Amino acid sequence: MRKTPYLLQRPDQRTSPVVFASPHSGRYYPPEMVAAAVLDPLQLRSSEDAHVDRLFSDVPRFGALLLSAVYPRAWVDLNRRSDELDPALIADVPRVGLNPRIASGLGVIPRVVAGGRNIYRGKISRQEAQARINTVWTPYHHLLKAVLDESLTLFGQAILIDCHSMPREALAAIQTGRGKRPDIVIGDRYGASAAPGITAEVELAFRAQGFTVSRNVPFAGAFVTQQYGQPSRKCHAIQVEIDRSLYMNERTLEPRKDFGAFRARIAAAAKTISEIGRETLPLAAE
């Protein structure tokens, strides 16, 4: 039995042009995937942005939308183009035009999870790969585009906050100006996917909650921010990466004892972010 590919949570009354999205927190692993995988269930989850949807679950209370994936990144990666097919995993895919993501096993149908560990022993069929794209990737992106278009219609602008988590080890060589590793990395593709003022407001919202924040290093944004971030059309997309060691045990994926307090800080930042663009509210009443 197939599950719906996404969960969209709406406020009772929409008062914000902001859409929060969590494309990598899905945790429904289809039985056929678990049976075919050479990894144990915990290893299979190692690429998952575990609990990110929970961190942002309060945003409907602030008049904003929350779109969350249901299927995991290991099944289909919603932050990749639909044509980023890996010939080392998918049968009958030509070995031409490979980018570094595909070559490393991180195409739209991932070949590996965190640490470069192979998910399967052999290949999957082109038909199976396309079925995952058709039933999960395409509906998710159709809905994401629709709710951003809704923001443009109601408020005159759309702001997408693409929510992710990052392993602590990814920050080993990264320091802010004060010599501290960032807790949060804001990615706007070096200014290409969002207006500078909006990126600055998002950064300040997290800083106000005591987080150390950096921009674009080591994560500047991937397919989602590139696809939907079009500031000239008043559609802004910003990727937010949160150090997952701050709220969970990275080995077991279990929330830390202080998860509730951490979640409250994220919620406070999200509330401030939801206020961005609210001055355009009169459009919503027309």
DSSP string, 124-151: B-HHHHHHHIIIIIHHHHHHHHHHHHHH
In a domain, 211, yes or no: yes
pLDDT per residue over 9-56, tens digit each?
999 999 999 999 999 999 999 999 999 999 999 999 999 999 999 999
For 91-124, the pLDDT digits (tens) are 998 887 778 899 999 999 999 998 899 999 999 9
Q: What is the pLDDT of residues 158-167, one digit of tens each?
A: 999 999 999 8
CA–CA separation, 229 and 240 (whole Å): 14
Cα(209)–Cα(270) distance, rounded to whole angstroms? 10
Give the other-Cβ count within 10 Å of 202's Cβ: 27
The domain in which residue 151 lies consists of: 6-73+129-285
Environment class of 246 (CB within 10 Å of its CB; exposed 0-12, middle 13-18, buried 19+)? middle
Q: What string of H, E and C letters represents the secondary structure of 26-75?
A: CCCCCHHHHHHCCCCHHHHHHHCCCCHHHHCCCHHHHCCEEEEECCCCCC
Percent of the chain with pLDDT over 70: 93
In a domain, 79, yes or no: no
67 within some domain? yes
User: For the chain, what is the radius of gyration of the CA atoms?
Assistant: 19
- Judged against a pLDDT cut of 60, whether residue 272 lies above it is answered with yes
The answer to whether residue 103 is domain-embedded is no
Residue 168 in tokens = 């602590």
Whether residue 213 is contained in a domain is answered as yes
Per the domain annotation, does 106 fall within a domain? no
Q: 48-84: per-residue pLDDT in tens?
A: 999 999 999 999 999 999 999 999 999 999 999 999 9
Residue 26 lies in a domain: yes
| Residue 281 pLDDT exceeds 60 | no
- Number of domains making up the chain: 1
**Does a structural domain hold residue 33?**
yes
What per-residue confidence (pLDDT) applies to 3? 82
CATH of the domain at 244: 3.40.630.40
- CA-to-CA distance for 117 and 97, rounded, in angstroms? 23
